[in-house]
Structures are given as structure tokens and as C-alpha cells.
Chain A
């Protein structure tokens, strides 16, 4: 089992809709969880971090964490064309982050 799995294919959403991204992880002892956004040809940038079970909201982004199910999700409300990017889930282990392969989001105007 991979450390961090993001299995969904490219996600196309109409402008103004909600984009939902999911991520599962294998290390039950993980404590820190992150979502990075990566535009094509650019480097990743952190958009959300979450450490406790439940929801964390920041603007149009909401991260959800369920440690019992080893599940992290990201919701993007009122999706904008500028949200078109690849979203990488990352889980902190021993001195390092393990990244999923990412989910591409395309927002259609």
C-alpha cells in the first residue's frame, strides 16, 4: 500500500461549483496533513494544513481530516478558473513529507 494515495483522475468542474478531492494515507501515527497546489510548470505551494480531526476552513478552501478512517479531503467552493491546477496531498512522517501523485482540477468557465 502506498503511503499517500490520490486515486481520482482529472476533475472537471463548472465555474462556481464545488470541487472535492480525496486522499488516504497508510501511517496511522501521522499527525500533520497538507494540501499543496501546483500550477503547470511551477513549484508546489501550500494552501492548507490540518492537524486535528474535523474541518478547517480558509476562504474558499475547506480541509477535512478523519484520522480513524485515515482520510483527508479538500473542498474548493465557488471554483474559479484560477483554481485550475494539480493538488497534492502530503502527510508528515519521520522528518519528511510523503506526497500523493496529485489530482488535476480543471475549472470550466
Chain B
């Protein structure tokens, strides 16, 4: 199993450009997450999904969009990139069953984004 994979590893965007960060997991996990991590800070949840076709906002969703058409893929779309979106983006997945809270989140290697 490859686990959670993310592409690209690094990208430079100009202000106002758009891009999609790709995330794929091969563990048949139902939950998937997008986080951003700014230097010296913890992880902030952008969006999450509890299954195909279901997404919800996290703490910092503004400027981002997501979709979940399959169990495996959870792309993150940045529209009109801004310098404040310079960060490292992590995708994660986990398996959760209703009423059972023991879960481990598995993280991808991250995408480093620089907006100039």
C-alpha cells in the first residue's frame, strides 16, 4: 500500500492563479482531511469528508474548495491564490465507524505552496 499520496510536492503560484492539490489514499478509509501548517504552528483543518459525496468545512475554509467523488480521492482547489495561502498542506485519512472513536489519522507527505 502506498498510503496517502499528494501531488505536487512543491509549487510556486502567482497571486490570483488557481491550482488543485491532489490527494489519494489506497487504504479504503472513509474519512479524509485537508490541513494547512504555517511555520511554528500546529495543523489547521481546512475541509474534511466523511465519505464520497460528503464534505464539510473546518476551521479555515475561506479561499478553498473540495470535492469527494470517490473514496480514494480528495482534491483541494485554491481559487485566486493569495500570499496568505503560502503554507504546507497535508492531506490525511482515517477509518471511523459511528460510535467508535478510536482512529488514527495517516498523513500524506505534504505539498509546500508559495504564493508570490
Contact = CB atoms under 8 A, between A and B. Distances in A.
Whether chain B is bound by chain A comes out as: yes
A60 interface: no
Given A95-B50, A96-B33, A96-B58, A46 B42 contact: no
B79 interface: no
B41 interface: yes
Contacts of B61: none
A4 B43 CA distance: 11
Nearest to B45: A96
B90 to A, nearest CB: 6
B40 A101 contact: yes
Given A43-B107, A43-B110, A45-B107, A88 B48 contact: no
Nearest to B49: A95
Given A44-B90, A95-B56, A96-B33, A31 B42 contact: no
A98 B56 CA distance: 15
A81 to B, nearest CB: 22
A96 to B, nearest CB: 5
Given A88-B42, A96-B58, A101-B42, A46 B104 contact: yes
Interface of B: 31, 33, 35, 40-45, 48, 50, 56, 58, 90, 101-105, 107-110
Kindly list the 9 A-B residue pairs having the minimum CB-CB distance in the complex, ordered from nearest.
A99-B42, A43-B107, A101-B42, A99-B43, A32-B101, A46-B104, A101-B41, A100-B42, A44-B107
